[in-house]
């Protein structure tokens, strides 16, 4: 795709802000729509044009009309599983209605390609088989998992009805610098931040719950590839390897030189126990494989937190 205008919704957030940096590096004009509910202006590259707009508001359509974006990366979302179990309506409004409003705006302004950030961690429930492929049953255990999936379904409807071109990326647990501790994979940020401050992190449940942790730069690379590949397809974006919360605690303990044990609390409603993503489809069709290993990725994340010690992230 030519270096045209890219619009990133949620571009002041964790993953979105890294994507904005990369798109600017690649020579695109980049615009960002964000309501700053969890995103932060300090995440945002000053070379991007910022629109303080809520995706559920009518102002979104006006923004699309003004910008006429060629490609849209849709990342703006309510991203917390536990918040979705408490405030399911708010979750649905942002993730379902917001996505629907975005699709209407994209249809009206003739967007060439939509790349949608979905979840691999919260769609498949506790799958019968791990690693779990894109063809596994969709059985979300939380309103968040369902609302992200309804977003996918609306996108597919718009593709059938209006020939909207799209790629869906279903991420594992994304971690790295600028990660919001409240988000889907906050555990790395929460543990590391607590340990660096000499505070005791809390493990929910027995800590044996496994996730597929994928570094943010690898997720950005998948988005870049999806601009030109994977039309009309959904891809798991993870590592194919499971890591338990206990393992994350131990790895971070070493990196931060933390000396104590974790606190424990009962598991939380909506949490999946074991999810590992089969990412062979992304390798075959997008030519994408993860490059950053867990130890390296965790070290970068801790380094970032150390450099920002005392600064709320
Ligand atoms: N972090 C993960 O592990 C993970 C895993 C799977 C999927 N995802 C998906 O990736 C995307 C980005 O997640 P993230 O981890 O960067 O989270 P994040 O919370 O850092 O980013 C979300 C951004 O969307 C913005 N936003 C929220 N509601 C909005 C609204 N109504 N209007 C405009 N902007 C709004 C927030 O201010 C924030 O900047 C989300 O769609 C999320 O569902 C994330």
**The pLDDT of residue 102:** 98
**The pLDDT of residue 58:** 96
**The pLDDT of residue 180:** 73
173 lines ligand 1 (CB under 6 A): yes
Q: DSSP secondary structure string, 193-262?
A: HHHHTTPPPEEETTS--EE-EEEHHHHHHHHHHHTTS-TTEEEEES-S--EEHHHHHHHHHHHHT--SPP
pLDDT tens digits, the chain, 313 residues: what are they?
Answer: 555 799 999 999 999 999 999 999 999 999 999 999 999 999 999 999 999 999 999 999 999 999 999 999 999 999 999 899 999 999 999 999 999 999 999 999 999 999 999 999 999 999 999 999 999 999 999 999 999 999 999 999 999 999 999 999 999 999 999 997 665 558 999 999 999 999 999 999 999 999 999 999 999 999 999 999 999 999 999 999 999 999 999 999 999 999 999 999 998 877 789 999 999 999 999 999 999 999 999 999 999 999 886 655 5
Which of the following CATH numbers is that of domain 5-174+213-240+282-286: 3.40.980.10, 3.30.70.600, 3.30.1360.40, 3.40.50.720?
3.40.50.720
28 lines ligand 1 (CB under 6 A): no
Q: Where in the chain is the domain with CATH 3.90.25.10?
A: 177-210+242-277+293-307
243 lines ligand 1 (CB under 6 A): no
Q: Which of the residues 124, 144, 235, 258 is marked catalytic? A: 144
Pocket-testing residue among 75, 155, 279, ligand 1, by greatest number of atoms within 8 A of Cβ:
75
Q: What's the rounded Cα separation, in Å, for the pair 200 and 164?
A: 48
185 lines ligand 1 (CB under 6 A): yes
Q: Please provide the CATH number assigned to the domain covering 177-210+242-277+293-307.
A: 3.90.25.10
Query: Partners of 117 in the beta sheet?
Result: 169
Count of positions (residues) in the chain: 313
């Amino acid at each position: 795709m030519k270096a045209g205008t890219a619009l990133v919704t949620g571009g002041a957030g964790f993953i979105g802000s890294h994507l904005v940096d990369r798109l600017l590096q690649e020579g695109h004009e980049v615009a960002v729509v964000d309501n700053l509910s969890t995103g932060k202006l300090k995440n945002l590259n000053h070379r991007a044009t910022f629109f303080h707009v809520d995706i559920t508001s009518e102002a979104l359509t006006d923004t699309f009309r003004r910008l006429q974006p060629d490609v849209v990366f849709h990342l703006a979302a309510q991203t917390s599983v536990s918040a979705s179990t408490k405030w399911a309506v708010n979750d649905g409004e942002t993730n379902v209605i917001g996505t629907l409003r975005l699709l209407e705006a994209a249809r009206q302004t003739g967007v060439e390609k939509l790349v949608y950030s979905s979840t691999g961690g919260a769609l498949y429930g506790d799958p019968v088989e791990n690693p779990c492929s894109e063809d596994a049953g969709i059985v979300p255990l939380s309103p968040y998992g369902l609302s992200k999936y309804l977003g996918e379904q609306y996108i597919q409807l718009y593709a059938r009805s209006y020939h909207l071109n799209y790629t869906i990326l279903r991420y594992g647990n994304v971690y790295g610098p600028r990660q919001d501790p409240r988000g889907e994979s906050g555990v790395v940020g929460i543990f590391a931040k607590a340990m660096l401050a000499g505070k005791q992190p809390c493990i929910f449940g027995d800590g044996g719950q496994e996730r597929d942790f994928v570094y943010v730069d690898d997720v950005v690379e998948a988005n870049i590839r999806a601009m030109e590949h994977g039309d009309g397809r959904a891809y798991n974006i993870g590592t194919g390897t499971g890591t338990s919360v206990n393992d994350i605690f131990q790895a971070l303990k070493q990196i931060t030189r933390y000396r104590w044990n974790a606190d424990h609390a009962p598991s939380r409603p909506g949490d999946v126990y074991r999810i590992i993503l089969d990412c062979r489809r992304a390798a075959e069709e997008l030519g994408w494989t993860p490059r950053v290993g867990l130890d390296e990725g965790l070290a970068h994340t801790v380094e970032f937190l150390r450099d920002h010690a005392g600064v709320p992230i």
